[in-house]
C-alpha cells in the first residue's frame, strides 16, 4: 500500500517536471523565434508558459551559462506586440510614462517629491525632452526611484496604459504587475544607478502614438 502511494507521488512529480520542461521549451523556442522574426506566434500560449515558468526558466538559463535576461526580453517584446493595437486606440490623457530615477543627469537640479523626481526640464538629460512631450500631450510622467512609487502613482492618477522605461528585469516586472492594463516598454541601453541611457527615439515614438496622434521628432520637442 505504502509502495503504491510512493509510486503515485513519484509519478506525479515526474509528470510535473516534464510539464514544466515542456513549458520552458515553449517559452524559449517560441520566444526566440518571435524575437528574431518580429512576429507573434501563439502569443497567449507563450504568455501563459512564461508567466508559469519565469523563475525556473531564469535559473535554468543561468545554469546553462546563457543570458538570464533572455526571458525578460522575450516577455517585454511579447507584451509590446500584444498590446500595441489597444495602445493605438487610447487617448493621451489616459496614458502615463514611468521613467527610472537613474536616467537623470549626474548634476540634476530636480528634487524628489511625492510622485517621484520633479523634472524642471533643465535640458541635461533625456527626461527633460520626454517631460516637454508629455506636457504637450497631457501624458502623465513619473520619474520613480523604485516600484513602491508606482503604487503611489496608481493612487494619484487613474490611467489605462503605461509606457515603461527600465532595465529588462524591472521593466518586465513592471509590465507583468500592471497587467491587465495596456503596457508598452523600452529597455535601457545602458544599465546602472546613474547616467543610464535609453533610445530617445523609441520613447518619443511611443509617446506620439496615443490620440491625438502626433509625429514630433526630438529636435521639434527640444524647441517647444
Residue of 21, 16, 31, 18 lying closest to 60 (CA atoms) = 21
For ligand SF4, which is the closer residue by CB, 97 or 110? Answer: 110
Q: How far is the CB of 222 from ligand SF4 (least distance, A)?
A: 11
| Start-to-end Cα distance in the chain | 79
- 186 grid coordinates: 523600452
CB-neighbour burial class of residue 169 (10 A; exposed 0-12, middle 13-18, buried 19+): middle
Q: Binding ligand SF4 by CB under 6 A: which of 52, 105, 169, 197? A: 105
**Nearest distance in Å: CB 214, ligand SF4:** 21
Binding of ligand SF4 by 122 (CB under 6 A): yes
Q: Which CB, 50 or 127, lies closer to ligand SF4?
A: 127
β pairing state of 161-166 and 95-100: parallel
The whole-angstrom separation of Cα 86 and Cα 138 is 19
Under the binding rule (CB under 6 A), the answer on residue 204 touching ligand SF4 is no
Which residue from 22, 25, 120, 213 is in contact with ligand SF4, where contact means CB under 6 A? Answer: 120
Among 74, 110, 163, 209, binds ligand SF4 (CB under 6 A): 110
Which stretch, 9-17, 88-96, 102-110, 191-199, contacts ligand SF4 (CB under 6 A)? 102-110
Q: Tell me if residue 183 falls in helix, strand or coil.
A: strand
Burial class (CB in 10 A: 0-12, 13-18, 19+), 62: exposed
| Contacts with ligand SF4, residue ranges (CB under 6 A) | 104-105, 108-110, 119-125, 127-128
Amino acid at each position: 500500500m505504502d509502495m503504491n502511494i510512493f509510486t503515485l507521488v513519484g509519478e506525479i512529480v515526474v509528470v510535473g517536471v516534464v510539464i514544466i520542461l515542456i513549458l520552458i521549451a515553449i517559452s524559449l523556442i517560441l520566444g526566440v523565434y518571435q524575437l528574431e522574426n518580429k512576429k507573434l506566434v501563439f502569443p497567449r500560449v507563450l504568455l501563459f508558459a512564461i508567466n508559469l515558468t519565469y523563475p525556473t526558466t531564469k535559473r535554468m538559463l543561468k545554469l546553462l551559462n546563457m543570458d538570464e535576461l533572455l526571458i525578460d526580453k522575450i516577455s517585454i517584446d511579447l507584451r509590446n506586440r500584444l498590446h500595441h493595437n489597444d495602445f493605438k486606440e487610447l487617448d493621451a490623457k489616459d496614458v502615463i510614462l514611468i521613467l527610472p530615477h537613474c536616467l537623470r543627469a549626474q548634476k540634476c537640479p530636480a528634487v524628489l517629491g511625492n510622485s517621484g523626481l520633479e523634472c524642471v526640464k533643465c535640458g541635461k538629460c533625456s527626461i527633460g525632452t520626454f517631460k516637454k512631450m508629455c506636457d504637450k500631450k497631457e501624458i502623465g510622467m513619473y520619474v520613480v526611484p523604485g516600484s513602491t512609487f508606482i503604487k503611489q502613482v496608481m493612487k494619484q492618477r487613474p490611467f489605462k496604459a503605461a509606457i515603461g522605461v527600465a532595465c529588462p528585469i524591472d521593466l518586465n516586472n513592471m509590465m507583468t504587475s500592471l497587467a491587465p492594463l495596456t503596457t508598452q516598454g523600452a529597455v535601457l541601453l545602458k544599465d546602472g544607478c546613474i547616467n543610464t541611457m535609453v533610445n530617445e527615439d523609441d520613447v518619443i515614438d511611443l509617446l506620439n502614438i496615443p490620440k491625438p496622434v502626433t509625429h514630433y521628432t526630438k529636435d521639434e520637442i527640444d524647441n517647444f
